[in-house]
A and B are shown apart, each in its own frame.
Chain A
Amino acid sequence: MSATRLYICCGSGGVGKTTTSAAFALQLAMSGQRVAVLTIDPARRLADSLAVGPLGNEPQSVPLERLNPAPGGQLDAMMLDMKATFDDVVRRFAPDAESRDRILQNRYYRFVSTRLAGSHEYMAMERIFALYESGQYDAVVLDTPPTRHALEFLKAPERMSNLMDEGVMHWLSLPRDSFGFRALERGSEAVVSVLKRLIGGETIEEIAEFFHVFQGMWSGFRERSGLVRALLRGPNTRFLLVTTPAPAARAEAQEFVQLLRRDGLPFGGFFVNRVLPAPTTNQALSAELLPDRPAAIPQADWAEICAGVRQATVNQARLAGSEAPALAELRREAGDAPLWTLPEQDTDVHSLDALAAVSALLAPAVAQLSRR
């Protein structure tokens, strides 16, 4: 059995990342593979277009047999349920039932499991790893959480594992003396007293309790994040950047590629969404090609409509031209790596058929990425 391939779609909010991830996953399935796509927070329309009910942590099979012709592969879709995933992790790594229940009931844990910075990303990795480990898929596609920057996704798990590592865990979870904390290192007491003054004694106690119980789960957690990190750097993983020809795209692409390189993460290429196709001419349509006015259309409207039709190519050329510098910059950033452009769609994706139409445009990308 060949190993599962992992595609991680990054990108800032509003670039069409979720739709692109779904279309890419569908195209992988079209090519005969067994595919899972994990999305973070799809619009309802996307869940509709995958023709599945409300998405949750459990894989839902997308009814590919409805497509004509039906592809040979298989596509499962799921949406990240933060709380459920974190609860699973706690259940898996808790040394005993008592610790498990103490964590699950801790008030601070309930905040951590949904709101802690980086926990979304960490849990997405966790789900991906479980899918990878299951061996049930040829390919797993991850649509990363929306961030202002594509890069935040890459930094977040690091933040999370810093927290889970030594540091605060070790320190807050040590056996406590009658003052509540043990003076482990010089200054610890001062630290705690400042924290208590700033945040409030009870809250600090609750957080300490959480870490105290969590201590038992530590090694499991750490081992797991080590495996995830290795997987992300492995030969079967590709990071993809979904972007648009917007002015800010170049800086983001540049940073993205640099960060991947620095961290030894494999770069797969860029998807540039919503590219306006250039018309064959930038000249207005000759007035001689205009037909006579149909009797039903008032003269004033007809004149306006004719002017609109004549200018259509000129306007499109102007629009496409306004994107050209950004596209050229993106191509330069990509260097030798592939860059695939996707034309602007006239409508949002509403149905499985519409998603299939977008996904067909990704066939070259799937072919190229599968060849490696």
Chain B
Amino acid sequence: MSLLDKRIVLVTGKGGVGKTTVTAALGVAAAAAGRRTLIAEIGGARRIHALFGAPESTYKIAPLTKNLSSLSITADEAIEDYVLQQIRVRALFQLVFRNRVMGPFIDAVPGLHDLVQLGKVFDLSRQTKRGSLEWDLLLIDAPATGHGLTMLASPLSMMELTGRGPFYENARLVHDVFMDPARTALALVSLPEEMPVNETLDLFARLGPYQRQVQLIALNELHPEPFGALDLWEQARDSFEASPAVAEALRLTDRAVARARRQRLARERLTGLGGAPLRELPFLFRRDLREADLLGLGRRLLGATT
């Protein structure tokens, strides 16, 4: 079953590994495959729109390209949204939420910020338009590792905290969807270096019951290898004369060989993790990725070989 057949894909990984790029690339590829796709940026992040030259994302869904839209969710807006749905009386909402103690109180309920944001994604995933689902696929550009995990576990935290009651019931609905491998998939993004791979393995271990959801490991920013026969390098190196120009080339080749070895090791360590496919993305020299670049990356993520 392809990643594109899920309802929700949550992209997470260590900070700086390229979660946003991976999310956008998956979005473009899904849209190109005809899926009506929505990207949700969490925690007020606003980076996706820039990749498409679109106006800055807000809480209101805006189109990026054909079949692809995005929004940026903040906890405050999600809370307002949620509460309005629950009490359905704007005047009462105004009364309660314009109360000066409300802000700090909301901050004081552990996990609430995370939960309402997941809840918003959950709502969007069920939203219908003219009798059918409005979105085939929701992609979440989730916060970095530690926080991403806390966010995923936030429905469960809320269930523990409340024990029962209306909030418990709502948290359970969200929990059920995010726990279900048939509907929700996790994509873990990593870099081909030791520490990020350690962190990915560690994250996977800490995922516990959510491990079944991991259905993509993206290894980002792979550099081309200087040559294939890395094992022969030390032997080959010995035959060079040490003039200054040669010395610099040798030193830089040492670096390139060391990096290629680290990349191979990273690939080896991540292969087969959770039975999820490992997809590799090349390091791109350009800073301004275009839609065509994203489509290329997205197709690789979905398993195309070129």
Contact = CB atoms under 8 A, between A and B. Distances in A.
Interface in B245-267: 245-246, 248-250, 252-253, 255-256, 258-259
B113 interface: yes
A204 to B, nearest CB: 9
A167 B104 contact: yes
Contacts of A279: 248, 252
| 6 A-B pairs closest in CB distance | A13-B15, A200-B165, A14-B16, A308-B226, A14-B15, A312-B252
B108 A13 contact: no
Say what secondary structure dominates the interface of chain B. Answer: helix
Interface of A: 12-15, 41, 43, 45, 107-108, 111-112, 115-118, 146-148, 159, 162-163, 165, 167-168, 170-172, 185, 187-188, 190-191, 194-195, 197-203, 207, 244, 246-248, 279-281, 285-286, 289-294, 296-297, 301-302, 304-305, 307-313, 315-316, 318-319, 322, 325-326, 346-348
Contacts of B17: 14
B146 interface: yes
Interface stretch (B53-61, B235-243, B269-277): B235-243
A318 B16 contact: no
Interface residues of B, number: 74
B227 A13 contact: no
Best-buried of B100, B168, B249 by chain A (most CB within 10 Å)? B249
Contact of B165 (A111, A199, A297, A308): A199
10 contacts: A13-B16, A148-B144, A185-B99, A190-B95, A199-B109, A200-B165, A304-B229, A305-B236, A308-B226, A312-B256
Interface in B64-122: 83, 86-87, 92, 95-96, 99-105, 107-111, 113
Contacts, number: 212
Nearest to B15: A13
Nearest to B99: A191
Given A203-B161, A294-B238, 15 more contacts: A14-B16, A14-B196, A41-B146, A111-B157, A146-B15, A147-B144, A159-B104, A163-B104, A194-B83, A197-B86, A289-B246, A296-B235, A297-B229, A301-B227, A305-B227
B32 interface: no
A187 B168 CA distance: 25
B235 A285 contact: no
Given A191-B102, A244-B16, A162 B107 contact: yes
B229 A312 contact: no
A194 B15 contact: no
Nearest to B167: A199
Contact of B232 (A297, A310, A315, A346): A297
Contact of A308 (B164, B253, B285): B253
Contacts of A14: 14-17, 144, 196
A304 B224 CA distance: 13
Contacts of A167: 100-101, 103-105
B166 A117 contact: no
Given A202-B163, A203-B165, A43 B198 contact: yes
Contacts of A315: 226, 252, 256
B107 to A, nearest CB: 6
B291 interface: no
Contacts of B145: 13
